[in-house]
Amino acid sequence: MKTTIAEVGKHVNESVTIGVWLHNKRSSGKIAFLQLRDGTGFIQGVIVKSVVGEELFEQAKHLNQESSLYVTGEVVKDDRSPLGYELQVSGFEIIQEAHDYPITPKEHGPEFLMDHRHLWLRSKKQHAIMKIRNEIIRATYEFFNDEGFVKIDPPILTGASAEGTTELFHTKYFDEDAYLSQSGQLYLEAAAMALGKVFSFGPTFRAEKSKTRRHLIEFWMIEPEMAFMDHDDSLVIQENYVQHLVQSVLKNCDMELDVLERDKEQLKKIKAPFPRITYDEAIEFLKKEGFEDIDWGDDFGAPHETAIAEAHDQPVFITHFPTEIKAFYMQPDPTNEKVALCADLIAPEGYGEIIGGSERIYDYELMKKRYEEHGLEGPAYEWYLQLREYGSVPHSGFGLGLERTVAWISGTEHIRETIPFPRLLNRLYP
Ligand code: 4AD
Ligand code: MG
């Protein structure tokens, strides 16, 4: 009976056949232990000379790492293994013998591993991170569908910038200039006026010359946008969403969190509502913490975010940033026009900003004034202004960076390991 490692629990004490790769092995004179993987998981295959005979046993002993085979054996319970089962091998058939697999069980440097990303993905740790990434995506669709959101797919090729002009990827669109999307937000606002509550999930591009453990050139963003919702309503959705992501990973990726040696207690603590501090309070706090150089009007860098995060064991909302350091579309606070109705959500344990969001300007005249101040004109922006002309309503939205969220929840130090094929400042391959 053909099955997969993930399904062996349904075949205890039965003989099964599984297509696998040899991950690792060790052997003595009479018995060999094969670490096998099939994509769905990892299992130990035990092969005993007296059971399979001299010839097959010798063949098994000489199998190289990453050789592919069909292995047949009986599934038995084994409480010591993370999976709970092992395979008592009765036979195998080699599909392809691999030679000199470059990634050996010894330590390799990050550049070497990144050069071999197409193979590195097969490792136990990378496998676990990709499974957690997948669970976060699954839980995202679950959460927003349950909340009555409609998934909307904004274009990738766009005529205008959504988040500032310095980080745009330029391309030709036949005879016109086009840019790869930095954010689908402007289109999502249009969609929210048609469907009420919408969300997108797609790739976004930032030509940022930042080489940090938090920045990718191409990253995936989840962007919800909600008509008739103000800034505070949006924060409630955000914290419930993030709590749902954490709980889903705890529930469905226990084995993966163990592989990554993630401190699960840190994740179990995460519970909405999350603390909220204003930008003003954050500045005051940072000055007290010894960041004497920071002044009102400055944006926060990684050390500032980390200091704020370390004062809490929950994600923290920093709200009401100065309008001048935020995007043109943010609604000013009616009680203090110098600050915007916006928030960044800072993850615990130093993983940085995972969400940026705000209430949007919906007054036609004010938006027009912002266009003048920011020099926004032409067909790329005309349609967006029109949204303020025909039944404009208060609305809010936010963007969650998938890879930063995966980094935090999985406890992965560097963002490059949270996406299958990272595009980094100096890396377009593999
Ligand atoms: O704060 P940002 O720039 O917000 C927007 O783009 C809004 N238009 C979203 C919206 O309101 N619909 O980006 C949102 C999130 C950040 O909080 C961060 O998690 C992630 O996207 N992000 C990056 N992740 C990886 N690499 C980068 N270079 C990133 N830039 C932003
Ligand atoms: Mg931001």
Which residues surround the ion ligand 2 when the cut-off is CB under 5 Å? 356
Shortest-distance ligand to the CA of residue 358 = 1
CA of 233 to the centre of ligand 2 (A): 19
Buried b (16+ CB within 10 A) or exposed e, 391-411: ebebbbbbbbbbbbbbbbbbb
- Supply the residue whose CA is at minimum distance from atom 22 of ligand 1: 401
Q: What is the pLDDT of residue 166?
A: 79
Tokens found for residue 224: 């919800």
On the question of pLDDT at 338 being above 90, the answer is yes
Cβ(256)–Cβ(132) under 8 Å? Answer: yes
Q: What is the mean pLDDT of residues 398-408?
A: 98
- Supply the residue whose CA is at minimum distance from atom 20 of ligand 1: 401
| Ligand 1 touching residue 397 (CB < 6 A) | yes
| Ligand 1 touching residue 216 (CB < 6 A) | yes
CA of 179 to the centre of ligand 1 (A): 17
Tokens found for residue 219: 């990253």
CA of 222 to the centre of ligand 1 (A): 9
Which of 136, 161, 219 has most ligand 1 atoms within 8 Å of CB, for mutation?
219
| Ligand 1 touching residue 354 (CB < 6 A) | yes
User: Could you identify the atom of ligand 1 that is nearest to the CA of residue 182?
Assistant: 6
Q: What is the mean pLDDT of residues 131-147?
A: 99
| Ligand 1 touching residue 399 (CB < 6 A) | yes
Cβ(1)–Cβ(11) under 8 Å? Answer: yes
What band does 161 get if pLDDT is binned at 50, 70 and 90?
Answer: confident
Which of 144, 186, 404, 409 has most ligand 1 atoms within 8 Å of CB, for mutation?
404
pLDDT in tens, 18-70: 999 999 999 988 999 999 999 999 999 999 999 999 999 999 999 999 999 99
Q: What is the mean pLDDT of residues 263-285?
A: 98
On the question of pLDDT at 164 being above 80, the answer is no
- Supply the residue whose CA is at minimum distance from atom 15 of ligand 1: 401
Q: What is the pLDDT of residue 66?
A: 98
| Ligand 1 touching residue 234 (CB < 6 A) | no
| Ligand 1 touching residue 353 (CB < 6 A) | yes
What band does 163 get if pLDDT is binned at 50, 70 and 90?
Answer: confident
Residue closest to 230 by CA, chosen among 362, 388, 36, 406: 362
Q: What is the mean pLDDT of residues 97-124?
A: 96
Domains of the chain: 5-96 (2.40.50.140), 117-418 (3.30.930.10)
Q: What is the pLDDT of residue 52?
A: 95
On the question of pLDDT at 291 being above 90, the answer is yes
Would you list the DSSP string of 133-192? HHHHHHHHHHHHHHTT-EE----SEESS-SS-GGGPPEEEETTEEEEE-S-SHHHHHHHH
pLDDT in tens, 88-104: 999 999 999 999 999 99
Cβ(120)–Cβ(107) under 8 Å? Answer: no
On the question of pLDDT at 374 being above 80, the answer is yes
